[in-house]
């Protein structure tokens, strides 16, 4: 059996109906493309009062591909004052196509001015296995 597309381009989902010429048995072969992580390259948490109130914002991580997405690790945020909590990490959590999970970033400023750090998100996206996001806040 040979696949011959009717149009050129990329195929993320593919279903081939096949009936054997010798036995008459039929098969349906399906292929679903990989998961694709969708998230902003930069994220501003906002303004935090120095040694006072914190700023907090939710960063959405979306599965924009046809397969199931699994976030494997969240690392980074090494700059002083940044922290994160998330509902994205679980050995059994698979994010369906079009669905999201949330990483809540908190910034508690200890100095005046801008502060930047990087959040690394590792996933089963075969192309973008680790995505780096620049996180910023202002004190």
Q: Which residues contact 44 (CB under 8 A, 6 or more apart)?
A: 57, 135, 136, 137
User: Do residues 23 and 112 lie in contact, with contact meaning Cβ atoms separated by under 8 Å?
Assistant: no
Q: For the chain, what is the mean pLDDT?
A: 84
Position 28 scores a pLDDT of 61
Please classify residue 90 by burial: count the beta carbons closer than 10 Å to its beta carbon, then call 0-12 exposed, 13-18 middle and 19+ buried.
exposed
Tokens of 12: 């993320």
Q: Minimum mean pLDDT among 15-19, 34-38, 125-129: which range? A: 15-19
For 93-132, write each residue's pLDDT tens digit: 899 999 999 999 999 999 999 999 999 999 999 888 999 9
This prediction has a pTM of 0.74
CB 117 within 8 A of CB 82: yes
Helix (H, G, I), strand (E, B) or coil at 65: coil
Helix or strand (DSSP H, E) at 37: strand 37-38
């Amino acid at each position: 059996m040979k696949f011959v597309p009717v149009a050129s381009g990329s195929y993320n989902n593919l279903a081939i109906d096949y009936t054997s010429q010798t036995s008459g048995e039929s098969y349906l072969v399906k292929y679903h493309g990989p998961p694709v992580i969708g998230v902003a390259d930069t994220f501003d948490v906002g303004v935090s009062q120095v040694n006072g109130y914190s700023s907090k914002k939710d960063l959405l991580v979306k599965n924009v591909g046809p397969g199931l997405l699994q976030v494997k690790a969240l690392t980074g945020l090494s700059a002083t004052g940044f922290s994160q909590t998330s509902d994205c990490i679980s050995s059994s959590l698979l994010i369906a196509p079009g669905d999201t999970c949330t990483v809540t970033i908190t910034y508690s400023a200890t100095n005046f001015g801008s502060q930047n750090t990087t959040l690394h998100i590792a996933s089963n996206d075969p192309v973008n296995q680790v995505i780096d996001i620049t996180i910023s806040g202002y004190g």
